[in-house]
C-alpha cells in the first residue's frame, strides 16, 4: 500500500531547485513526471476547505495541475494565495486587522516594522511576518488596535519599559504629539461643521416667512396679476 504522507523535505528541496528556464518555470509532479515545465501544467479554479486555527473555511482559488497525471501539484504562489484567502476570511470573522492595516499603523508613527515590534516588545520579525500575511495572535491584534490611537501609544511609552534609544524615543514622542494635534483639529472641524449645520437649520426655521391673512391675500393678488 502506498503511503499517503506529505514529504515536506522533498517539496522544500523541489522548491529550492525551482529553475527559471526562459520564463518557463519548472514544476515537480510527485507522481511520475518529476520535472515539468509550465507548459505541461494547467491552472484550474478549485473549491477547497482550509483549516485555520481549528476552524474550517471554504475558499475558491486557483491551483496548478499536472496535465499528464491530472493531479494537483504545488505552486508556491497559487498555494499561498489560497491560504491568504482563508486567513482573510478568518480575520474578517474575528474582526482582526488586515495585513495592510498593520503596515499603516507603523507608517503612521514613522516607524519600521522592526521598530514597532521593539516598542511593543514583540519578537523582532513579528510585525514583518504579520504584514506579509502570517496570521496574527489575537492578543497582539488587540494591542495593535489600541496603540493605533496616538494617546494610547503615548500611555504605552510612558508606562512601559521600551527598548529604544533616547533619540528614537524623542522622535516618536514628537510624532505622537503631531498626530494628537491633528486628531484634535479634526475633532474641532467636525464639531464646527455640525454646529454650522444646526445654525443653518435654525436659520431656515427663522427664515420661513410666516404671513398673516392680509399678506397672503396680497401675495395671492400679486401672483394673479403676474399670471394674467
Q: Which residues bind Zn ion (CB under 5 A)?
A: 29, 31, 33, 66, 68-69
Collapsing DSSP to helix, strand or coil, 72 comes out as strand
Residues 132 and 135: their CA atoms lie apart, in Å, by: 9
- Of the pair 35, 89, the CB lying nearest Zn ion is at 35
- Of the pair 46, 162, the CB lying nearest Zn ion is at 46
Task: Please state the closest distance from residue 125 (CB atom) to Zn ion, in A.
Answer: 36
| Cβ-proximal residue to Zn ion, closest one | 29
- Of the pair 68, 186, the CB lying nearest Zn ion is at 68
- Of the pair 41, 126, the CB lying nearest Zn ion is at 41
Task: Please state the closest distance from residue 164 (CB atom) to Zn ion, in A.
Answer: 53
Task: Please state the closest distance from residue 101 (CB atom) to Zn ion, in A.
Answer: 41
- The residue whose grid cell reads 506579509 is 132
Collapsing DSSP to helix, strand or coil, 73 comes out as strand
Task: Please state the closest distance from residue 31 (CB atom) to Zn ion, in A.
Answer: 5
DSSP string, 16-70: HT--EETTEEEEEETTTTEEEEGGGEEEEEEEEEEEETTEEEEEEEEEEEETTT-
Buried b (16+ CB within 10 A) or exposed e, 187-212: eeeeeeeeeeeeeeeeeeeeeeeeee
Residues 66 and 217: their CA atoms lie apart, in Å, by: 89
- Of the pair 28, 106, the CB lying nearest Zn ion is at 28
Task: Please state the closest distance from residue 41 (CB atom) to Zn ion, in A.
Answer: 9
Amino acid at each position: 500500500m502506498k503511503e499517503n504522507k506529505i514529504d515536506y523535505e522533498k517539496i522544500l528541496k523541489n522548491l529550492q531547485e525551482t529553475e527559471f528556464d526562459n520564463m518557463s518555470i519548472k514544476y515537480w509532479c510527485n507522481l511520475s513526471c518529476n520535472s515539468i515545465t509550465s507548459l505541461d501544467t494547467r491552472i484550474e479554479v478549485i473549491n477547497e476547505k482550509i483549516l485555520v486555527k481549528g476552524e474550517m473555511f471554504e475558499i475558491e482559488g486557483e491551483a496548478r495541475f499536472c496535465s499528464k497525471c491530472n493531479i494537483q501539484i504545488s505552486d508556491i504562489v497559487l498555494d499561498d494565495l489560497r491560504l491568504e484567502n482563508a486567513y482573510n476570511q478568518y480575520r474578517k470573522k474575528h474582526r482582526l486587522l488586515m495585513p495592510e492595516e498593520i503596515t499603516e499603523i507603523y507608517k503612521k508613527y514613522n516607524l519600521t516594522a522592526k521598530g514597532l515590534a521593539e516598542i511593543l516588545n514583540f519578537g523582532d520579525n513579528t510585525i514583518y511576518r504579520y504584514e506579509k500575511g502570517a496570521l496574527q495572535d489575537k492578543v497582539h491584534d488587540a494591542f495593535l488596535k489600541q496603540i493605533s490611537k496616538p494617546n494610547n501609544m503615548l500611555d504605552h511609552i510612558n508606562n512601559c519599559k521600551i527598548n529604544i534609544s533616547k533619540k528614537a524615543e524623542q522622535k516618536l514622542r514628537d510624532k505622537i504629539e503631531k498626530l494628537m494635534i491633528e486628531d484634535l483639529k479634526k475633532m474641532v472641524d467636525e464639531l464646527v461643521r455640525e454646529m454650522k449645520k444646526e445654525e443653518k437649520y435654525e436659520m431656515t426655521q427663522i427664515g420661513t416667512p410666516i404671513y398673516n391673512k392680509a399678506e397672503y391675500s396680497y401675495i395671492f393678488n400679486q401672483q394673479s396679476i403676474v399670471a394674467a
